[in-house]
Amino acid sequence: MGKAKYDFSSFSELDFYKKVNTRLIELAEVDKLAKIIELGCGTGGVTELILDRVNSAKNTVIYAIDSSATAISTSLSRLESRKEAILKFIQTEAQNLQNTVKDQVDSVIYCNSIHYINNKMDMVNQIKKSLKKGGTFAFNTSFYSGSHPPETEIFLRKWMLKTIRLLKKRYGIMPVKVKKVESRVQLTPDNYTELILSNGFYIKEKEVIEVNVPLDGWYHICSFRDWIEGVLPGVPLSKGKEILQETVKELFDEMNIKTLQRNWLSVVAVKK
Ligand SMILES: C[S@@+](CC[C@H](N)C(=O)[O-])C[C@H]1O[C@@H](n2cnc3c(N)ncnc32)[C@H](O)[C@@H]1O
């Protein structure tokens, strides 16, 4: 049996997730762009959506950056046959952007990953330096203050209670208590606006998309390492995944629901 990867690929294949990112890419008008940096490219789901839209193999370069070696290697094998652009995959922290890509580009795309960064001021400043004047910075995130609608909190609380009870009963283990790391301290949409404006951008589009996430979405996110480690710190990944998937299914049944809402903040900004 192959080694479990606990990566983002099964989640990134889901229709609703592709729609959210497609919307951002369309707002950023990537089909008109020649040089693109994609930060936090993961297993290549968004890179693929970008490739579907670019129209000149000769002139388009995509620098796709992720800190995870396994995610980069999945992206490489997944996209090796794509010829619509020159693809340059780079395994490094997004925070090393200025030392990594010397080119100035037309667009920086950053899907569902900016919330990992502690020093967002420095990150956005680096992104600005990487862009040509008039270049576009487009990002989205579902980890910001306001991404959980208040009416879903009861579900999330019940889910965690069920999970912790079952973990204890089946395996005799509990998550460990950890101090909140800076990246888990979530910004509000207004904080993001301030961050962008104070770095010399103007905002072209900013929207909150209300997404009715089906059971599939919640089920597949439970196979992603960062999610398991975030909600069940210290719990072995295989056990965390098993219990979280079991309890989320049970709870959807018990509460007789088909979807649970989550909001995505989506911003397209232009360098002045
Ligand atoms: C939720 S996934 C999103 C992947 C991809 N953007 C997508 O939407 O399919 C977040 C990705 O960010 C990467 N990541 C987290 N912190 C990072 C950092 N500091 N620098 C670069 N990548 C990072 C993770 O390895 C993971 O692949």
Instruction: List domains and CATH numbers for the chain.
Output: 9-148+182-213+262-271 (3.40.50.150)
Residue 50 clears pLDDT 60, i.e. is over it: yes
Q: Is the CB of residue 126 below 6 angstroms from any atom belonging to ligand 1?
A: no
Q: How many angstroms separate the Cα of 118 from the Cα of each of 130, 198, 217?
A: 19, 17, 26
- What is the per-residue pLDDT across 211-240, written as a single tens digit (0 to 9) for each? 999 999 999 999 999 999 999 999 999 999
In this structure, the strands spanning 86-91 and 61-66 are parallel
- What is the per-residue pLDDT across 140-189, written as a single tens digit (0 to 9) for each? 999 999 999 999 999 999 999 999 999 999 999 999 987 655 446 799 99
Nearest residue (CA) to ligand 1, atom 12: 40
Q: Is the CB of residue 196 below 6 angstroms from any atom belonging to ligand 1?
A: no
Record the pTM: 0.95
- In this predicted structure, what is the pLDDT of residue 38? 98
Residue 125 clears pLDDT 90, i.e. is over it: yes
**How many angstroms does the Cα of residue 142 sit away from the middle of ligand 1?**
13
- What is the per-residue pLDDT across 82-109, written as a single tens digit (0 to 9) for each? 988 999 999 999 999 999 999 999 999 9
